[in-house]
Structure 1
Amino acid sequence: MMKIAKTLLLAAIMLAGAGSAALAQLPATANDVHPLLVGTKVPAVTVQDTDGKQVPTTRIFSKQPTVLVFYRGGWCPYCNRHLSELAETEASLKALGYQVVAISPDAPDKLRATMEKDKLGYRLFSDSEGALTKAMGIAYQVPAHYEKVIREGSDGRNTSFLPVPAVFLLNMEGEILYEYVNPDFRKRISGAMLLANAKALAAAK
């Protein structure tokens, strides 16, 4: 009996240690993130569409140049304003050959609610477990006061990270051509600035 108890105790310690190690791998704050650099290719992972189906990022980005947006969740008013502004700029971006794709930790059903609320025509994808967000180098440890809202937004799948809101311009090979990453979630790239950079890249081809 004593041996079993020791074994269970050891297993619990190991699990706790593994959880702490996983958390420690994330930057402590938004100011500590290290985004992938311009010229780097986006790692190939999978995300979920609004129907909950797994979709490889390579399939999404290989169709056409992409405006890749990361936002915190449909619960964030700053994110909703930014998503709506992107919707107003989408037609001009499409005319330049770009598609707009937005990623958040929200679960697929929450994505659908955001699309309806903000009247979005572009696609949203779920990265509830953070595979893409972490690979992009923009995930950080969730502050305690956000734990409840991100857990609810992800249907319990995310309890550990938040993305720094970011926008990347990618070519069809998934290479980063431009990025805007600001640790202050209240400050987002304007539609006009995004469009200007997209035009400059299109003209440089």
Structure 2
Amino acid sequence: MIILHHLNNSRSQRILWMLEELGVEYEIQRYQRDGQTNLAPESLKKIHPLGKSPVITDGEVTVAESGAIIDYLARKYSDKALIPQADTEAYRQYTYWLHFAEGTLMPPMVAKLVFDKVRQNAKPFFVKMVANKIADKVMDGYFGLNLVANLKYVEQHLADNEWFAGEALSGADIQMSFPLEAMASRNISGEYPNIDAYVKRIHARPAYQQGLSRGGQYDYA
């Protein structure tokens, strides 16, 4: 039996979606973030030394990291429905986007989140003014530029493709869902219409909705 060690408001929500798409039996072991630090509880370290979510146990096998979990589940349980055939362009795209999500897209997004919190929480006024200048310089000089370039790249890909790898939903789409949900929830200006449409498309899937109902509150990153 697969057990998903599920942390509220975390990347493990996309693993719930994956499991529902596969239609396999699974159980949920729930964990709550600390109300003050927002960190995962120490109890998760009993499952994996880093104490982070998502992590699954499948019998004697323990798998951590979203991309590794998605690839593991796709290979073992999807009868290749969620993983393209090897040595095809679709498979190369699958591999690329599976790594792009956390390796390229998430770092500048996390940096933006961190610096936004610095701006909000810095006090008194003089400290806040200095903190804002530092945050603006770092974002404008590096992370901000990379984030915009990455989002434009994704936007263009979705202008030409319904899914990230080939003509059907794959594990790459499930992996990409987390950063794109985070972005779309803050895309008030509508600057990325193809990303917005994509997020609406995956949210409309019955398996996604079922995973959402089983996972509980999810604030879209």
What interval of TM-score do these two structures reach, taking the shorter chain for normalisation?
under 0.3
Higher strand share: 1
TM-score, with length taken from structure 1:
0.21
